[in-house]
Structure 1
Amino acid sequence: MRVFLLTALTMIAFAANSVLNRMALAGGGIDAASFGSIRLIAGAVMLGVLCALLRGGLTLGGRGRVAGVLALLVYIYGFSAAYTVLDAGLGALILFGVVQITMFAGSLVAREAVPPRRWIGAALAFAGLVWLLWPGAGPRISVVHGLLMAAAGVGWGVYSLAGRRSTDALRGTAANFILAAPLGVLIGLALPTGAAGTVIGAQGVALAILSGAVTSGLGYALWYNVLPRLASSVAAVAQLTVPVIAMAGGMIFLGESLSLQFVAASVLVLGGVAISVLPLQGLISRSSGS
């Protein structure tokens, strides 16, 4: 029961990143670049403190560090820029689907054995994302901001692939955030801020700190603590709930609507991911033997 509750709390934290980001930007209390920079800094501080308390320090070097830092920056700023327009649930769905497809592509590049079900699942998820982003075909969304979230998904997928080389996930994540933070500030200053210019209000800053320190920093630390106690299939199913929780949060806290087309596209994306990551052959053999 304790592992279940911790897993549920972690998934809520991940979904809350979408809701908090959208809430801050939709309210006009902060611009996207500033939100991303503050989120990075808050996450770096929290993860650094956790490493000091739980690991006795941290190491900034390591294999895959450059790739991890660059991918993290793409994720953070693509994520924030996309949520200037996208609803929380829609953004989470695009992000999650693209992350899985990116990791599937990484398997192909690494010449890993890819079973047929992963091909089928990736094709279904990709079809759902194309439907979402194709002009006039699926729900009405901004293609530009959809592509920005897709870029964030590629960034997080690459980040996850690079993280496989880490022997200590918490230290590796802390090092990536700490190294990315100063670069992120420079990127944030260089990015266009839109017609309103740079906006840094108290509510926007508070939401960015909450997203960086709590739902990102503590959320990632909690996930890495729970992950070794979960079967890979259970961990995969748990992550399928993130877009659904984000959709619910968007409707409750932001008054976002849910269309039938969006539900259908969500079924395609999440169904494709489920087929790709779940050990269906094992499930079938167990059910047939019972």
Structure 2
Amino acid sequence: MDAKKSSHDEGLMLVVAMTSLAMVAFSANSLLTRAAFQTTAIDATSFTAIRVISGALTLLVIAMLQGAKLKPSRTGWWSAVLLFTYVAAFSFAYRDISTGAGALVLFASAQLLMISYGYCKGERTSLLGVLIALGGIAAFLAPTASAPSLSAAALMAVAGFAWGGFSLLGRSSDSPISNTAASFLWAVPLVLILMFVQRKHLSVDTMGITYAVLSGSLASAGGYAIWYWVRVRMTAISAGAVQLSVPVLSAVLGVLILSEEISWIGGISAVITLGGVAWVTLTAKAGQQGRSSAGAEDAIR
């Protein structure tokens, strides 16, 4: 009996540790992108291309090691387009928005899109929670001395909507790693087209390339691989709730590493937004045992 309990405790500790590592990886995407534009000469197009290509190669290796096959699907190109839109808008937005603010807008946009989709499909959750989340994000973006640029926030919202759509398309996948790897690979031609269009504005340096590779290979590909391992070992409610930590972690990392500042108004608005999203997410999943809400579990990546 003691041996079984000890084994269970060790397994639980491993899940907690790997979950924490996955959340740090997702938060690191925001930190690495923001750091690249704040401290290096790399441009958003080059960062996007390097992140997608390095992520594609890393996921391809992981899929091969797992013996998974990259099979084309009916939604494959749509997934690639949404993935490309997410990564590109994410990069361009982080030129003018802080680490924590960007993560909050991304998270809220992705979750609210998937919640809206579920509502249209007959799911029911707390409308008051939706209103609280929307009110919090409106207060967060209201014009003040510390408010993020509206253009950058709009771009990050586009990134969030694109990621939400990508998650909805892939939620029924029985092989998430191989499908994500395929989407990254099919997004490569799109980033090459973007580089051609922006060829006169490209700029790279060693540290900028390093940040982009780390974002693509470790924070994205590595983070996804860890999260997919964790996801099958926890409940739907836990999976949705634990991702609330990502904007908070991103903000903390931004303050500690990049010396960014958080105003009292911004902090309170962020807490209200996350509280509203948590209320909606937990209510929806508790009410339906969530096949139709499964996509909301993978909103932050």
Name the TM-score, length of structure 1 as normaliser.
0.90
Runs (4+) off by over 6 Å: 280-283
What one-letter code is carried by the residue in structure 2 that aligns with 1:267?
V
Give the distance between the partners of 2:160 and 2:128, measured in 1 at CA.
20
Give the distance between the partners of 1:192 and 1:127, measured in 2 at CA.
41
For residue 254 of structure 2, the aligned residue among 250, 254, 264 is 250
The CA deviation at 1:157 is 0.5
Q: In the alignment, what sits opposite 1:62?
A: 73
Q: Does 1:209 align with 2:209?
A: no
Q: Matched residue of 1:189: which SS? A: helix
Give the distance between the partners of 1:249 and 1:176, measured in 2 at CA.
29
**Is 1:125–1:270's contact at 8 Å kept on the other side of the alignment?**
yes
Q: Does 1:178 align with 2:185?
A: yes
Q: In the alignment, what sits opposite 1:260?
A: 264
Per-residue Cα deviation, 1:50-87 (whole angstroms, up to 9, x for no partner): 0111124322x114222211111110011000100111
Q: In the alignment, what sits opposite 2:141?
A: 133
Q: Matched residue of 1:33: which SS? A: helix
Q: 1:12 to 1:205 in 2, by over 3 A?
A: same
Q: Does 1:112 align with 2:129?
A: no
Q: 1:202 to 1:139 in 2, by over 3 A?
A: same
Unpaired runs of 5+ in structure 2?
1-12, 288-301
Give the distance between the partners of 2:229 and 2:254, measured in 1 at CA.
28
**Is 1:166–1:172's contact at 8 Å kept on the other side of the alignment?**
yes
The CA RMSD over aligned residues, in Å, is 1.9
The CA deviation at 1:132 is 2.4
Give the distance between the partners of 2:18 and 2:86, measured in 1 at CA.
25
Q: In the alignment, what sits opposite 1:274?
A: 278
Name the TM-score, length of structure 2 as normaliser.
0.87
Give the distance between the partners of 1:222 and 1:106, measured in 2 at CA.
27
Give the distance between the partners of 2:155 and 2:44, measured in 1 at CA.
12
Q: Does 1:199 align with 2:203?
A: yes
What one-letter code is carried by the residue in structure 2 that aligns with 1:184?
V
The CA deviation at 1:282 is 6.7
What one-letter code is carried by the residue in structure 2 that aligns with 1:189?
F
Identity of aligned residues (%): 35
Q: Does 1:85 align with 2:96?
A: yes
What one-letter code is carried by the residue in structure 2 that aligns with 1:23?
A
Q: Does 1:101 align with 2:112?
A: yes
Per-residue Cα deviation, 1:147-178 (whole angstroms, up to 9, x for no partner): 00000000100011011132211111000001
The CA deviation at 1:279 is 4.2
Q: Does 1:13 align with 2:25?
A: yes
Matches within 5 A, 1:5-44: 5-44=17-56
**Is 2:55–2:220's contact at 8 Å kept on the other side of the alignment?**
yes
What one-letter code is carried by the residue in structure 2 that aligns with 1:129?
I
Give the distance between the partners of 1:160 and 1:106, measured in 2 at CA.
12
**Is 1:52–1:58's contact at 8 Å kept on the other side of the alignment?**
no
What one-letter code is carried by the residue in structure 1 that aligns with 2:118?
S
Q: In the alignment, what sits opposite 1:287?
A: none
Q: 1:267 to 1:29 in 2, by over 3 A?
A: same
Q: 1:192 to 1:100 in 2, by over 3 A?
A: farther
Aligned residues between the structures: 275
**Is 2:123–2:284's contact at 8 Å kept on the other side of the alignment?**
no
Give the distance between the partners of 1:58 and 1:280, measured in 2 at CA.
33
**Is 1:15–1:245's contact at 8 Å kept on the other side of the alignment?**
yes
Q: In the alignment, what sits opposite 2:294?
A: none
Give the distance between the partners of 1:125 and 1:28, measured in 2 at CA.
35
Q: Does 1:189 align with 2:189?
A: no
